[in-house]
């Protein structure tokens, strides 16, 4: 696999789910979400040209890969809604059933109505596509659940059954639970908003036990 690919894990082994290079995608995928129809949302680490998408796709943008037509389109334009600084690279994303788009950023961010750090997650509500418009709110304040030290930048997000699944860019230690950048942990019973809490914290996926030592997880999604 390469850093523009998405792989699937079935509990015992890995398989290639999306081959980025086969579809003209260069550069590192640093956030993805798989939609109910099988389409894939992708964010990249740097600005680049994407086949079928007009102009340059920035690291604060999200593209959609249509698995039926095998084509790309712009899903979210970050610069339209305040993601304009160097640190505001989208490095984690999730689309909720209610239509809200969750994102985390590589550095600190300041968008209309909310600001925070790389350990936080914000939610966007509005119009998506080439012309993006809408509003932001805090979804998860990382410092409330013990994140915030060097390396504890949230870099991958998934939400399932009221639980928030996270991976970080470096080692993490939250209220007695610790791990590395190849692990995924669960904030169980996640309470959202400016005052964030977890009813429990537990390890979900230990990357080193499955051969991922030294391979940072850049994105996660759950079936």
Of the given ranges (99-108, 114-123, 207-216), which has the lowest mean pLDDT?
207-216
Pull the structure tokens for residue 219.
């994105």
Average pLDDT over residues 48-72: 96
Residue 171: partners with Cβ closer than 8 Å, 6 or more residues away? 151, 152, 178, 179, 180, 181
Smallest CA-to-CA distance from 143 within 93, 92, 197, 107 is with 197
pTM of the model as a whole: 0.96
Smallest CA-to-CA distance from 39 within 13, 11, 6 is with 6
Pull the structure tokens for residue 172.
């993490």
Whole-number Cα distances in Å, 37 to 34, 124, 134, 190, 192: 8, 21, 24, 26, 27
175-215 pLDDT tens trace: 899 999 999 999 999 999 989 999 999 999 999 999 999 89
Q: How far is CA 51 from the centre of its chain?
A: 22
Q: Are 83 and 90 in contact (CB under 8 A)?
A: yes
Rounded distance between C-alpha atoms, residue 34 and residue 22, angstroms: 18
């Amino acid at each position: 696999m390469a850093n523009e690919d998405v792989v699937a894990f079935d509990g015992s082994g890995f398989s290639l789910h999306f081959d980025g290079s086969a579809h003209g995608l260069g550069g590192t995928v640093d956030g993805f979400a798989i939609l109910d129809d099988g389409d894939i949302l992708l964010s990249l680490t740097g600005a680049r040209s994407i086949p079928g998408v007009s102009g340059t796709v920035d690291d604060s943008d999200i593209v959609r890969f249509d698995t039926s037509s095998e084509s790309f389109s712009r899903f979210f334009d970050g610069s339209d809604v305040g993601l304009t600084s160097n640190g505001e690279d989208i490095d984690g994303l999730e689309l909720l059933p209610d239509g809200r788009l969750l994102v985390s950023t590589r550095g600190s961010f300041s968008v209309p109505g909310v600001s925070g750090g790389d350990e936080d997650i914000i939610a966007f509500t509005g119009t998506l596509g080439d012309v993006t418009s809408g509003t932001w709110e805090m979804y998860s304040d990382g410092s409330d659940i013990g994140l915030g030290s060097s390396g504890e930048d949230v870099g991958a997000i998934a939400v399932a059954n009221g639980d928030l699944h996270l991976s970080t860019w470096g080692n993490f230690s939250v209220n007695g639970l610790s791990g590395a950048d190849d692990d995924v942990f669960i904030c169980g019973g996640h309470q959202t908003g400016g005052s964030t809490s977890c009813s429990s914290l537990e390890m979900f996926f230990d990357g080193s036990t499955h051969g991922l030592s030294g391979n940072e997880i850049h994105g996660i999604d759950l079936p």
